[in-house]
Structure 1
């Protein structure tokens, strides 16, 4: 790109930015009576100058031409003053500092244009104890993915944590949700019983706290979850937190496959009336066959009803549950280490065939289970792309990963963000498939009153 072309593009962007500032300044003045007083002061001064000028030149032989010239000058100064006043109020106070800080890290487009700050305002979307500010930029053609890839550098330049990046005004603008550098995520957030949502047929699960808000998953919307993370990342703690909440809800049955013998699950889980544990492949295959049969039965049941497309529709309509003792139960099948269930390494021919059948049943549930209230929650720490087939993984809509290497992060999230953004010593820190980093709630089994679950 030639220097002349760069200068042309920079001139065009400068003109656009001035237009944005003027428009924003008008909005600010219209919405703020105190700023309107400034306009009145400028107009009052202009009127005073007009009166004084007329008084001074009254009776002067050259009154006509000179008076006209002075009045034109007065009008010009007034217009310039009003323009500067509007532009001042349309420019965020931190605009120039932000521009300089982004320039320092070389954050610019091919023409050398640095994104220009349009607006800065506090985030009012949801209750949070943190100070959250929104920064809206004229993106200058810099794509959202580039902002996300440069997240660490932008955070350092602006001395903030970036909670979220989103496009505005089509793709012309970018909005950053920022939190002061000293108000980041805590290393440990204790689960409180007040966080539990027991509403039915809603099935919402609280996972943890992001910089902006509580991270919640609704099984009516995202029926299946995949959790990844290396040893000690907090993966199993998060899995237990999810299952504990499900067991406190009405009409939810939980089954856990754990081929490690259930060492991570105390007797509370094994003795719970709505929770069963499976420790071998034969029992697991029998159970999965039952789930597929149940899925087909529910499919036929819903097809026989009017306007009933899923378990939510069925349970929320009193006509369908009028003669039943209770609504249909949601069925949750969880695996603490999916590699232990699906890995065929070192198995006999018969065992491999058994694993293939298990994998086929899980794939069927992943593909069809959402509508019929049958859910998968799979966890793994093995960085092996051959463990989870595409048919299973591609039908799991919500994925989270704790600290991990590039390989495991790619398997879970299809990118390396877990390796890039989760500190190597972090416990309970996760990033989800939407790019949201959160601290999972710490769940201590001894603090739970299992008699009430």
Structure 2
């Protein structure tokens, strides 16, 4: 790109930026009486000067020419003063510093243009006590993916944490949700029983807190969850947090497959009337066969009910559940280490056939379970791409990964985001498939009282 073309592009962005600054300045002045009074003062001074000009020059040919010239000069100066005044209030105070810092980290397009800050304003969210500030930029056609790739460098340039990056004005702008460095995520956030409202009719699960808000997942929208993380990342604690909330809700049955002998789940889980533990493959296959039968039964039931598309509609609509029909339970199957369930290494031919049947049943549930209220919550720490079949993984839309290497992060998230953004010593820190980093809530499973209401 030659220098003339670069200059043309830079001038075009400058004009556009000036227009945005004028619009922002007008908004600020419109909503602030003090700024309006100062603007009126500028215009009053211009009028005063015009009156002085009127009485300064004689009423003759030369005097009239001088008056016109002075009127024109006063009008030009007044216009420039008004425009400068509007531009001043339309330009964020930190714009120049950010512009210089972006230049230092090389956040530019092919023409050498640097994103321009349009506005800075507070963002209020009830679910967090952090001070969140939005920064809106004229992106100068720098793609969102480039902002995400340079996120760490941008945080350094801003001296703030970035909670979220999104496109605005179509794809012409970028909005950064930022948080002061001292208000970053805590290393441990303790679960409070008051966080869970059992009266909520939808299956919403609370996972933890991001910089921006409380992180939740709704099983009506994302019916299956895949959790990954290396040893000590907090994966099992997060799984227990999810299952505890489900068991606290009405009309939910939970079955946990734990082929490590149940060491990660204390006796309190076995004591719950709607929680079942499975430790053997043969027992698991029998259970999954029963789930497929139940799935087909519900399918036939919904077909027999006109306009019933899913379990949510069935349970909330009284025309489906009156008299002889009871609300259907949601059924959740969880595996603390799915690799232990599906790994065929060292197995006999018969055992491999059992594993293949288990895999087939899980694939069917992953594909069809959403509408019929049958959910999978699978966890793994083993970086083996052959463990999870494509039919299972591809039908699990919500994925979470804690501390992990590039391989495991790639298996869970299809990217290295977990390896890049989760510190190597972090516990309970996760990133989901939408790129949201959060600290999962920690709770003590040994103090669970299933009979105590939240």
TM range (shorter): over 0.9
SS of 1:289 mapped into structure 2: helix
Work out the CA distance in 1 between the residues paired with 2:411 and 2:48. Answer: 73
Structure 1 residue 290, shift from structure 2 partner: 0.5
Q: Which residue of 2 aligns with 1:6?
A: 6
Q: Is the 8 A contact 1:227 1:235 kept in 2?
A: yes
Q: CA deviation at 1:125?
A: 4.2
More deviation, 402-411/99-108: 99-108
- Whole-angstrom distance in 2 between the partners of 1:343 and 1:2: 59
Structure 1 residues 73 and 200, CA gap change in structure 2 (3 angstroms)? closer
Q: Which moved more, 1:196-205 or 1:397-406?
A: 196-205
Q: Do the aligned residues in 2 keep the contact of 1:385 with 1:411 (CA within 8 Å)?
A: yes
Structure 1 residue 34, shift from structure 2 partner: 2.0
**Range with greater deviation from structure 2 (316-325 or 81-90):** 316-325
CA distance in 1, matches of 2:420, 2:301: 47
Q: Is the 8 A contact 1:197 1:204 kept in 2?
A: no
**Structure 1: runs of 5+ lacking an equivalent:** none
Inter-partner Cα distance in structure 2 for 1:96 and 1:386: 52
Instruction: Please list, as runs of the form range in 1=range in 2, the aligned pairs for 1:297-316 lying within 5 A after superposition.
Output: 297-316=297-316
C-alpha displacement of 1:85: 1.1
Partner of 1:194: 194
Q: Deviations over 1:34-70 (max 9, x none)?
A: 2211221111111111111112224567321111111
Distance in structure 2 (CA, Å) of the matches to 1:29 and 1:147: 32
Query: Matches of 1:293 and 1:58 in 2, distance apart?
Result: 104
Distance 1:219 1:197 in 2: 16
CA displacement at 1:324 relative to structure 2: 4.1
User: Mean Cα displacement is larger for which, 340-349 or 56-65?
Assistant: 56-65
Per-residue CA shift, 1:309-332, capped at 9, x if unaligned?
A: 000000010111112464110000
The alignment partner of 2:451 has SS state of helix
- Unmatched segments (≥5 aa) in structure 2: none
Match in the other structure for 1:400: 400
The TM-score, its normalising length taken from structure 2, stands at: 0.98
Alpha-carbon distance, 1:105 to partner:
0.8
Match of 2:281 in 1: 281
Say if 1:42 and 1:82, in contact at 8 Å, map to a contact too. yes
User: 1:373 Cα deviation (Å)?
Assistant: 0.4
Residue 368 of structure 1 pairs with residue 359 of structure 2: no
TM-superposition CA deviations, 1:73-129 (whole Å, max 9, x none): 000101111111111111111110110111111111111111000111001244421
Q: Does 1:441 align with 2:441?
A: yes
Identify the residue that residue 28 of structure 1 maps to in structure 2. Answer: 28
- Tell me the residue number matched to 1:320: 320
- Whole-Å Cα distance in 2 between the matches of residues 318 and 110 of structure 1? 61
- Superposed, 1:29-428 pairs within 5 Å as 29-58=29-58, 62-324=62-324, 326-428=326-428
Give 3-state SS (helix, strand or coil) of 1:87's partner: helix
State the SS of the aligned residue for 1:86.
Answer: helix
Partners of 2:275 and 2:325 lie apart in 1 by 20
Cα RMSD between the aligned structures?
1.2
Taking structure 1 as the reference length, the TM-score comes to 0.98
| Aligned partners of 1:200 and 1:250 also within 8 Å | no
Name the SS for the 1:49 alignment partner.
Answer: helix
How far does the alpha carbon of each residue in 1:218-258 deviate from its partner, in whole angstroms, 9 at most, with x for none? 11111100000000000000000000000100000000000
Is residue 127–residue 214 contact of structure 2 (8 Å, CA) maintained in 1? Answer: no
Quote the Cα distance in structure 2 between the aligned partners of 1:73 and 1:201: 70
Number of matched residues? 453
Output the CA distance in 1 between the equivalents of 2:140 and 2:73: 37
Supply the distance in 2 between the matched residues of 1:443 and 1:385 (Cα, whole angstroms).
31
> Distance in 2 between the 1:340 and 1:396 partners?
19
CA-to-aligned-CA distance 1:141-190 (integer Å, 9 cap, x gap)? 11101101111111111111110000001111000000011110000000
1:324 and 1:397, CA in 2 relative to 1: closer, same or farther beyond 3 A?
Answer: farther
SS in 2 for 1:43: helix
